[in-house]
């Protein structure tokens, strides 16, 4: 059902259709979450946090281990195995209009440690965050998705 006004339709039905179409759906939230996930992955692969600052360098001993295994050491990308990033999931709660990124399983501890730091062991590398630009991009995405339904 289109939410476009038509002179032969009940005006109340048109208003109800527009109101329904103007709601953010679970699918919209899932797309917003996937966008944020991809923004985080891209930044992490480039070795920068949500504020655009480079991650703290690898410890010398860890950098040697990476180099010995053939991995690069110049960019801190947190991608030794890829499991930590693969454990990031999008969770939606459409009834509440919420979307969240979560890290499941054993990788949650590793992800938290890299994000928040472990004093004396790991420096803080704020990889798991959204910045103002991310929020603006997500808002524009949701506006486009809702706008398509309302204007169809």
Q: Model confidence over 12-57: pLDDT tens digits?
A: 877 777 777 778 899 999 999 999 999 999 999 999 999 999 999 9
pLDDT category at 98 given cuts 50, 70, 90 is very high
Q: Does pLDDT of 112 surpass 80?
A: yes
Distance of alpha carbon 41 from alpha carbon 106, whole angstroms:
19
Contact 97, 24 (CB under 8 A): yes
Give the pLDDT of residue 26. 93
Helix (H) or strand (E) holding 89: strand 88-93
Q: Does pLDDT of 72 surpass 60?
A: yes
Nearest Cα to Cα of residue 105 among 81, 86, 123, 82: 86
Considering the entire predicted model, what is its pTM? 0.82
Mean pLDDT value of segment 90-94: 92
């Amino acid at each position: 059902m289109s939410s476009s006004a038509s002179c032969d339709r009940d005006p109340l039905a048109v208003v109800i259709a527009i109101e329904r179409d103007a709601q953010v759906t679970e699918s919209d939230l899932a797309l917003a979450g996937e966008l944020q996930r991809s923004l985080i992955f891209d930044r992490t692969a480039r070795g920068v946090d949500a504020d655009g600052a480079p991650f703290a360098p690898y410890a010398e001993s860890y950098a040697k281990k990476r180099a010995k295994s053939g991995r690069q050491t110049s960019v801190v990308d947190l991608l030794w195995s890829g499991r930590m990033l693969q454990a990031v999931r999008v969770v939606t709660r459409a009834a509440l209009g919420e979307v969240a990124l979560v890290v499941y399983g054993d990788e949650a501890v590793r992800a938290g440690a890299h994000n928040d730091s472990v004093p004396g062991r790991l420096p803080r590398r704020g990889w798991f965050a959204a910045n103002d630009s991310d929020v603006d991009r997500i808002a524009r995405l949701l506006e486009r998705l809702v706008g398509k339904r309302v204007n169809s």
